[in-house]
Amino acid sequence: MKDFIIPGLDGAPAFSDRDFGTPERHSHRTVTLTIDGFEVSVPEGTSIMRASNTLGIAIPKLCATDNMEAWGSCRLCAVEVEGRRGTPASCTTPVTPGMVVHTQTAKLEKLRRGVMELYISDHPLDCLTCAANGDCELQDMAGAVGLRDVRYEAPVGGGMENHFLRRDATGAPNPEWLPKDDSNPYFTYDPAKCIVCSRCVRACEEVQGTFALTIEGRGFDSRVSAGMSGDTFLSSDCVSCGACVQACPTATLQEKSVIAIGTPDRKVITTCAYCGVGCSFEAEMRGDTVVRMTPWKHGKANRGHSCVKGRFAWGYATHKDRILEPMIRESITDPWEVVSWDEAITFAATRMRDIQARHGVKAIGGITSSRCTNEETYLVQKMIRAVFGNNNTDTCARVCHSPTGYGLGRAFGTSAGTQDFDSVEHTDVVIVIGANPTDGHPVFASRLKKRLREGAKLIVIDPRRTDLVRSPHVEAAHHLPLRPGTNVAVVTALAHVIVTQGLYDEAFIRERCDWDEFQHYAEFVAQDRHSPEAIAMLTGVDPNELRAAARLFARGGNGAIYYGLGVTEHSQGSTTVMGIANLAMLTGNLGRPGVGVNPLRGQNNVQGACDMGSFPHELPGYRHVSQDSTREVFEKLWGAVLDREPGLRIPNMLDAAVEGTFKGLYVQGEDILQSDPDTKHVSAGLAAMECVIVQDLFLNETANYAHVFLPGSTFLEKDGTFTNAERRINRVRRVMMPKNGYADWEVTQLLANAMGAGWTYTHPSQVMDEIAATTPTFAGVSYEFLEERGSVQWPCNELHPEGTPIMHVDGFMRGRGRFIVTEYVATDERTGPRFPLLLTTGRILSQYNVGAQTRRTDNVVWHDQDVLEIHPHDAEVRGVKEGDWVRLASRAGETSLRALITDRVSPGVVYTTFHHPDTQANVITTDFSDWATNCPEYKVTAVQVALTNGPSEWQVDYAGQAEQSRRILPAAE
């Protein structure tokens, strides 16, 4: 593979593909030594192997690779050191000052050849038909050491053992031979090809942190084994992250796509389109076919790691369900009619303008996608503001992290996480609240678990006993299993302990925060009614545990808080975010590595969508639409007068639609019918509109109510940028032409122009230039800059030319940090005799959000339906057994699904996921929302659970309606 597309100079050391053999070491002291006559200086603690590689001298190796610690088992990397006896392994031998190393001598040649000969004697010689042909380190090393002959052939008549021949020369079965395990949908394990280098086992432990793999047996009997004996890869604890496959130097662990297609011929660096971690990947291509996606070692978010979604679940891009031609229909009860792009765009533009003529300029709006690129999102909000002529733009962040925007904006002055992901490597105490990173943000979870294994302490605040609470080699110091809806009470009680016990960082507060506000806040939290004991009845949290957790966080060193939608999706979501900001300021945990407030963003580009002005009250860069100076910047550039009043948010749009004042909606890449709460209200709102334009890959649930369907493109088919949870702007690069004909930004431009915009963009880089020209925090960002640096974290401008890995270093964006009083207010959603249980919702590792993408991949083998987790006690009193169909009902609606009995949830709490449209968990959720932002209260719904026979009437009706509305007329002959 020669044609790498690598940011920066080709082969520049910063982005080199070279495997240095052992991990980088950081030290203030450098050591100078000589290798093969060349002098080299490296940080103390560096291995000879790595030092040699920095010189460009590769030492043969099999068991070493630079994303895991040296193991020293293959003996191939032996070197000679002057003045030392023997031939030490260069991977496990650290450099010393003045050391003189020889990597290639007659003695070493002989030794390495002997080692290789032994390896190859127990390895099949089917290289030509092997899937790893051309991409096999064993093959490479055989070449590198000059292996020409293997003397240890199995004698005819048996008598010599090996692992790779199915039968011996006499035809008798070889007891050492094991069949291939192809249980995992994405890769195979072929024991016959294994050289027992342990790279897979170490990757599972060190990189992923799952510990699913082990070496079973000793000596000649050593085998890689997933789970317990009798397990396959699929039935084991394996989470299919792909780290072992990546690490395997042979074809023992091999992607099925490579087996099917062959080895790739080029790589393109791009960014994953699943969660907010924003992993960098190499799309490995043959022609315009993706052969595999492998994590890019220089990706600063993921540092060479991946999860099952990004690594393997990209097959949806070519799924047969994808709609590739535009479609229209007069009414949502009609079948779809396939039309030309021209016809579809004209139809959409005419209808939208017609609605405005009859119902006013503000009767239409749009929703930007947190899945699409920054450039696409920017253009959608630009179209709404400048072409539609109103501010009725919103994005799915409304239903996930809008309270983060509001809360952190109030406290610190900016709506963003304060750290980079690398920061976790310096953390001593972590609070994870309302987040389940091992499922929702798996690559970050692996980085967190690595730090926890190094000794950092963990506090988990979550109604469920998530995997992080206790998993191999990780155990939370404290788990506070609170009742859903009581976050504010718990966070305030933590502050109570810190303040009343004098554990706060007074110097930090005096220097950085408003002291008067602090004093008022301190007086507030110190009241007895906020003590852990006082709130215990309400929250269900053991006061002693809570006190211990508060002390640990305040006094445990660098403290970092990571949170997710379990914080924001509540009627007091914004208050909890402010409470979290208070905790960080109280303990002085801001402005340096290892600390901070870190929202874990749900979708790949939620951060970017917010940055790009998707909200109805904010122009790009979080500037309120009422600011004349900001509007002027855009008015001048866009040649349009902008509305100075905020527009409608998604729930407001739906309310206005039901009321009859909102009639037209353009939805790019979001399925509001499945993902937004209170499905019946959403469908009523959509059904009341005269023109719903859905732009998506698939006929999603929202499209059931659409009049125009515009085919969307995948992240593989377009150029652009995504901004991840750490504010990192990463490039998305086109690796294949859009199967639907256009990238999403082009579709938006077609629609805008049909409505009179006159835009002439020919490449997304021009859009980024416009963003940089108008938005101060992006002033320094350009595609050229990103090519050179790989990625950058905003703010990136004159003040921060290199970007900003950590925010608020010398002071808060807003000046002084604000302590805000956080009074607990119970949600209106309460349990009672009719609905005695609390439902909370979440995600699972293998599926993503509404599942539109992951349900169209083999990831369904891990999760083919949503299930209801219920505590054994609650199940027993209802006569519910494992796997029973149960009816889940709230005051909003009801649905049926199967029960999973588990004590992961507390008594009184039930839990489900929302990945499958036939379950539609959001039929149950209510229209209550966060007080500040209208972010829906997904996480607390009073419900009842009862046995039932199967799907509810609503589910049957819904399925029928969905089927009807997806009819497509056969093309005219």
Say whether the peptide bond before residue 646 is cis (omega within 30 degrees of 0): no
Give the type of residue at 752. Answer: A
For the bound state, the minimum distance from the C-beta of residue 787 to other proteins, rounded and expressed in Å, comes to: 39
Q: Distances in Å between the alpha carbon of 137 and those of 141, 589, 651, 754?
A: 6, 45, 56, 55
Please state the separation of Cα 954 from the chain's center in Å. Answer: 33
Beta bridge partners of residue 286, listed in sequence order: 289
For the bound state, the minimum distance from the C-beta of residue 936 to other proteins, rounded and expressed in Å, comes to: 12
Which residue number, 321 or 823, has a Cβ lying nearer to other proteins?
823
Contacts of 678 (CB under 8 A, 6+ apart): 892, 893, 922, 925, 926, 927, 936
For the bound state, the minimum distance from the C-beta of residue 940 to other proteins, rounded and expressed in Å, comes to: 14
For the bound state, the minimum distance from the C-beta of residue 543 to other proteins, rounded and expressed in Å, comes to: 23
Which residue number, 685 or 842, has a Cβ lying nearer to other proteins?
685
Please check whether residue 384 is in contact with residue 365, taking contact to mean a CB–CB distance below 8 angstroms: yes
For the bound state, the minimum distance from the C-beta of residue 826 to other proteins, rounded and expressed in Å, comes to: 11
For the bound state, the minimum distance from the C-beta of residue 934 to other proteins, rounded and expressed in Å, comes to: 7
Q: How far apart are CA 35 and CA 89, in angstroms?
A: 14
For the bound state, the minimum distance from the C-beta of residue 821 to other proteins, rounded and expressed in Å, comes to: 5
Please check whether residue 269 is in contact with residue 5, taking contact to mean a CB–CB distance below 8 angstroms: yes
Give the type of residue at 907. Answer: P
For the bound state, the minimum distance from the C-beta of residue 648 to other proteins, rounded and expressed in Å, comes to: 5
Which residue number, 461 or 625, has a Cβ lying nearer to other proteins?
625
Which residue number, 610 or 932, has a Cβ lying nearer to other proteins?
932
For the bound state, the minimum distance from the C-beta of residue 825 to other proteins, rounded and expressed in Å, comes to: 6
What are the phi and psi torsion angles at 408 (to 5°)?
Answer: -70, -30
Q: How far apart are CA 668 and CA 666, in angstroms?
A: 7
Which residue number, 304 or 485, has a Cβ lying nearer to other proteins?
485
In 3D space, the residue among 405, 444, 412 whose CA is nearest the CA of residue 427 turns out to be: 444
Cβ neighbour number for residue 953 with a 10 Å cutoff: 9
CA-CA-CA-CA torsion for 434, 440, 446, 447, nearest 10 degrees?
A: -60
For the bound state, the minimum distance from the C-beta of residue 572 to other proteins, rounded and expressed in Å, comes to: 8
Which residue number, 197 or 625, has a Cβ lying nearer to other proteins?
625
Q: How far apart are CA 649 and CA 615, in angstroms?
A: 8
Unique residue bearing structure tokens 């499209």: 703
Which residue number, 87 or 574, has a Cβ lying nearer to other proteins?
574
Which residue number, 90 or 929, has a Cβ lying nearer to other proteins?
929
For the bound state, the minimum distance from the C-beta of residue 778 to other proteins, rounded and expressed in Å, comes to: 23
For the bound state, the minimum distance from the C-beta of residue 659 to other proteins, rounded and expressed in Å, comes to: 6
Q: How far apart are CA 422 and CA 432, in angstroms?
A: 17
Three-class SS state of 361: helix
Which residue number, 314 or 406, has a Cβ lying nearer to other proteins?
406
For the bound state, the minimum distance from the C-beta of residue 525 to other proteins, rounded and expressed in Å, comes to: 12
Structure tokens of 383?
Answer: 């179209």
For the bound state, the minimum distance from the C-beta of residue 929 to other proteins, rounded and expressed in Å, comes to: 8
Which residue number, 189 or 666, has a Cβ lying nearer to other proteins?
666
DSSP codes, 16-71: -----SS-----S-EEEEEETTEEEEEETT-BHHHHHHHTT-PPP-SS--TTS---
Strands, E assignment, 543-671? 559-563, 596-599, 618-619, 623-624, 664-668
Considering only CA atoms, give the Rg of the chain.
Answer: 29
For the bound state, the minimum distance from the C-beta of residue 343 to other proteins, rounded and expressed in Å, comes to: 33
- How many helices (H) and strands (E) the chain has is answered by 29, 37
For the bound state, the minimum distance from the C-beta of residue 521 to other proteins, rounded and expressed in Å, comes to: 9
Please check whether residue 376 is in contact with residue 366, taking contact to mean a CB–CB distance below 8 angstroms: no
Which residue number, 121 or 661, has a Cβ lying nearer to other proteins?
661
Residue 470 DSSP code: E
In 3D space, the residue among 264, 317, 310, 384 whose CA is nearest the CA of residue 724 turns out to be: 310
DSSP codes, 305-354: ---HHHHH--GGGG-TT---S-EE-SSTTSPBEE--HHHHHHHHHHHHHH
Which residue number, 280 or 492, has a Cβ lying nearer to other proteins?
492
Unique residue bearing structure tokens 């652009």: 720
Please check whether residue 656 is in contact with residue 683, taking contact to mean a CB–CB distance below 8 angstroms: no
For the bound state, the minimum distance from the C-beta of residue 646 to other proteins, rounded and expressed in Å, comes to: 6
Q: How far apart are CA 438 and CA 208, in angstroms?
A: 10
Which residue number, 100 or 658, has a Cβ lying nearer to other proteins?
658
Which residue number, 361 or 956, has a Cβ lying nearer to other proteins?
361
Which residue number, 191 or 409, has a Cβ lying nearer to other proteins?
409
For the bound state, the minimum distance from the C-beta of residue 647 to other proteins, rounded and expressed in Å, comes to: 6
Strand order in the sheet with 100-102: 38-43, 30-35, 100-102, 80-81
Which residue number, 96 or 626, has a Cβ lying nearer to other proteins?
626
Which residue number, 228 or 641, has a Cβ lying nearer to other proteins?
641
Pairing of strands 100-102, 429-433: unpaired
Which residues of this chain interact with other proteins, rule CB under 8 A? 362, 391-392, 517, 520, 571, 574-575, 616-617, 624, 626, 645-649, 652, 655-656, 658-659, 661, 820-821, 823, 825, 828, 927, 929, 931-934
Q: How far apart are CA 571 and CA 101, in angstroms?
A: 66
Q: How far apart are CA 670 and CA 452, in angstroms?
A: 36
Which residue number, 813 or 821, has a Cβ lying nearer to other proteins?
821
Give the type of residue at 394. Answer: D
